[in-house]
Structure 1
Amino acid sequence: MATLAGWHVELEFTEDGHRTGAAALLRLGDGCEMRARGYAMRHPSDPEQLRVGEEIAGARALMDLAGQLLQKAHTEIDEVSGKHSFPIKG
């Protein structure tokens, strides 16, 4: 039987004028927590679309978390193998 693992991600958004911010919190099964932020700026001539700003800011925060996860994984690989692994950037 396969073992299931679960991660919990929380995203909170703030709107300040033309700027939307996203704060992400990731809780891993090993008790580790990672935090990241992402931002989106709306040009003053663009129509207000709060959802679009949230999507862009949220995506940027999640991309930061993805980078942190890759770094964590490669650090753990290096500790066990004694060799330097290379994260693939995507």
Structure 2
Amino acid sequence: MTATKQWSVTVDIDEQEDSTWAHVSLRTPAGMDVTGDGHAQRNPLDPSVPEIGDELAVSRALRNLAERMLHTAEKDIRGATGQPAHLHR
């Protein structure tokens, strides 16, 4: 079976003072919602470069989302096969 699919991830970034929070959300075509969160805190001795905080917070949120997706896949494999699943990370 050949198929082309497109999934979209929404990224929300909130910057306050020296902290940046990111929230990412994914909704699959099957209706599954998965989210991830990330945070970055600027060292007061470092120069203020908001883009770096955005990059760190978003990358951490995406990593969190990816980990949750792997857990979901493990549960789905167990449900489909009746066997334990341990996916490589």
Same fold (TM over 0.5): yes
Distance 1:20 1:29 in 2: 30
Distance 2:31 2:11 in 1: 18
The answer to whether residue 35 in structure 2 is matched with residue 35 in structure 1 is yes
> How far is 1:18 from its partner?
0.7
Aligned residue identity for 1:2: T
Determine helix, strand or coil for the equivalent of 2:71.
Answer: helix
* 1:14 counterpart residue number: 14
- Structure 1 unaligned runs (5+)? none
Distance 1:50 1:68 in 2: 27
Aligned residue identity for 1:18: D
* 1:80 counterpart residue number: 80
Aligned residue identity for 2:16: D
Aligned residue identity for 1:40: A
- Structure 2 unaligned runs (5+)? none
TM-score by length of 1: 0.93
Q: Stretches of 4+ moved more than 4 A in 1?
A: none
Distance 1:17 1:52 in 2: 14
Give RMSD over aligned pairs.
1.2
The percent of aligned pairs where both chains have the same amino acid is 30
TM-score by length of 2: 0.94
> How far is 1:87 from its partner?
2.1
